[in-house]
Amino acid sequence: MNAVATSPSMQGFLRRDGRKGIRNVVAVAYLVECAHHVSRLIVQKSGSDDVHLIGFPGCYPNKYSLEMMQRLCTHPNVGAVLLVSLGCEGFNREQLRRTIAASGRPVDLLVIQQSGGTTRTLNAGLDIVRKMRAELARQTPVPMAFDELIVGTVCGGSDGTSGITANPAVGRCFDWLIEKGSACIFEETGELIGCERIMASRAITPELGREIEACVDKAANYYRIMGYGSFAPGNAEGGLTTLEEKSMGAYSKSGSSPISGLIKPGDIPPRGGLYLLDVVPDGEPRFGFPNISDNAEIVELIACGSHLILFTTGRGSVVGSAISPVIKVCANPDTYDRMADDMDVNAGRILRGAELDDVGREIFELVQSVARGALSKSEALGHQEFILTYKQFEPIGPACLPAA
């Protein structure tokens, strides 16, 4: 890894809480579906790729979604926030606004019913966003170290190649990042069913190991009640047969570092190391599937502070995300040949004779270049998907985080 020492530093925008962001995004956030269109118009007509649309569609209040929106709106990659409310929804917009203001970020709130409808809100919103962008343009990034970086990983459209190429290559990259002090997060306990004992044996304490086993049991029980495991038809068409087979492949994204903690959506790793994110709600299943699509997992990784996301795919996903760049690592060489424009890394070349370490190193270097401001493929293509739905969680237990 000697070549890396001479690379220019990563850089970030310093926030009041001491964290640094590798992007300086203006987030426009709708607080109910009824405000979605107006918010989308503001984003589109702003004419800037640095203005991102996020939001929550529900009219009923929900502790999880409020906490997620607070985390997302104060994410280090976000420089300023415009909140757009219809006016009658249950979302606690004042608390969200106070949280953002307390973080030192410019924040404004438009209530469509008070602003006088679609066009007046749009015009007011465009004016606010223009001023916010001018303010952010005056900020200059500062050098950023590995121990200030958080990287999440997710897989989508897995197939029989994922666990052989892209996932273990991301695992190598994770090992190197963690060695340098970064925090790395892997997730989807429902896609780790079958790996619980191996994972528990990697936990830094036996208590954490027991928490990890219990959290995978919770996931298995939850999915059993849902009637489906996290296993899509495309997984089978790509050669995967069972959930535990998919799990073993997904698990290799975690690399070989000890597991330092078990976190839930919105929990930010307190220091470097490898963290497992428990995305399966607590209590009786209430709001449906834990994550209805890949972007729901990406949003939770971002709410945990992830500056960027390593997304492995076999069948070929094209998604990106609002707030944090998504780097696409393609597991399947045939898929790469078909969809190269969407893929940042061709890990499938391992099947044609390339070395796992070389692909891991390419990902490791790409993480740094994207953290210096280079656009990932999905970013350059304008992908800014975002989805947030209802969930409920209990706080993590005392054994879940490394001791101070």
Partner 1 sequence: MTTLDKGKLPPLLLLHPDDNILVARRDIALGELVEMDGETFNMPVAIELGHKLARRALAPDTRVLKYGAPIGSMKIAVARGEHVHLHNLRSDYLPSTSRDMEKKTDGH
Point out which residues bind partner 1 (CB under 8 A). 159-161, 163-164, 193-195, 198, 220, 223-224, 228-229, 231-233, 235-245, 248-249, 252, 314, 332-334, 351-353
Cα 101 to Cα 25, 42, 79, 98, 107: the distances in Å are 16, 21, 11, 5, 6
Shortest distance, CB of residue 257 to partner 1, whole angstroms?
18
Alpha-carbon distance of 69 to 388, in angstroms, equals: 9
Shortest distance, CB of residue 387 to partner 1, whole angstroms?
22
Alpha-carbon distance of 348 to 162, in angstroms, equals: 9
Q: How far is C-alpha 257 from the chain's CA centre?
A: 20
Choose between 72 and 216: whose C-beta lies nearer to partner 1. 216
Amino acid, res. 146: F
Angle, CA 36 vertex, CA 378 and CA 307 arms, to 5°:
35
Shortest distance, CB of residue 349 to partner 1, whole angstroms?
11
Shortest distance, CB of residue 229 to partner 1, whole angstroms?
4
Choose between 216 and 322: whose C-beta lies nearer to partner 1. 216
Choose between 8 and 227: whose C-beta lies nearer to partner 1. 227
Q: Which residues pair with 203 in a beta bridge?
A: 259
Shortest distance, CB of residue 208 to partner 1, whole angstroms?
21
Shortest distance, CB of residue 245 to partner 1, whole angstroms?
4
Choose between 238 and 320: whose C-beta lies nearer to partner 1. 238
Choose between 272 and 333: whose C-beta lies nearer to partner 1. 333
Question: For residue 221, how many other CB atoms are within 10 A of its CB?
Answer: 12
Cβ neighbors of 333 (< 8 A, separation 6 or more) are 161, 346, 348, 349, 351, 352
Alpha-carbon distance of 219 to 182, in angstroms, equals: 27
Choose between 223 and 311: whose C-beta lies nearer to partner 1. 223
DSSP string, 38-65: HHHHHHHHHT-TTEEEEE---SS--HHH
Nearest alpha-carbon partner for 315 in 192, 160, 126: 160
Shortest distance, CB of residue 176 to partner 1, whole angstroms?
22
Choose between 193 and 309: whose C-beta lies nearer to partner 1. 193
Structure tokens at 238: 């790509």
Rg over alpha carbons for the chain, rounded to the nearest Å, is: 20
Choose between 138 and 352: whose C-beta lies nearer to partner 1. 352
Shortest distance, CB of residue 291 to partner 1, whole angstroms?
16
